[in-house]
Amino acid sequence: MSLFVKKGSTKKEEARNRREVKKMFQKADRDGDGKLCREEWFRVLNSSGCPTSMQDVAEFFEKMDRDFDGKLSFAEFMGEETPLERLFRSMDKDGDGAVTKEEFISVCKNLTPQQVEEAFNKFDTSGDKRLDFKEFCLMIHGEEGAGD
């Protein structure tokens, strides 16, 4: 459920509210990459009369940036499931919160076993031969150990 949905609102009201929030989000996204960086969010809050420190912004991002890329997508901003979360869930066949090499290969059929092995060697920082969601995200973003 979205963070910006009022209890008891109709689907039509929810859709209108979502469109309005999306417009504000896009306006705040100065570089047009579809995501808000910390500086963009800081600027929006402070320019709209909501005095906020970069520390407050950093804490907000720590909580909301679920794919560990340092930015907020619209889905993350709204508290909704992101495409990366859906992809991970589709790969995690047994629902244990981690992706094994076998689960990974079953979805990414275009990769060779050697490519998968190399990816797991590089991004499985826990050494359990599986990728948890954070390791998976860091692999997708190509950022070894980022966000630690």
pLDDT per residue as tens digits for the range 8-19 = 779 899 899 889
Whole-structure pTM value: 0.79
- Tokens for 135? 């390791």
Q: What stretches of 16-142 adopt beta strand conformation (E)?
A: 35-36, 72-73, 98-100, 130-132
Cα–Cα distance measured from residue 118 to residue 116, given in angstroms and rounded to the nearest whole number: 5
Express as a percent the part of the chain with pLDDT over 70.
Answer: 93
DSSP bridge pairs for 72: 36
Burial class from Cβ neighbours inside 10 Å (0-12, 13-18, 19+) for residue 38 reads middle
* Segment 86-112, tens digit of pLDDT: 999 999 999 999 999 999 999 988 999
pLDDT of residue 8: 74
Largest CA distance in the chain: 54
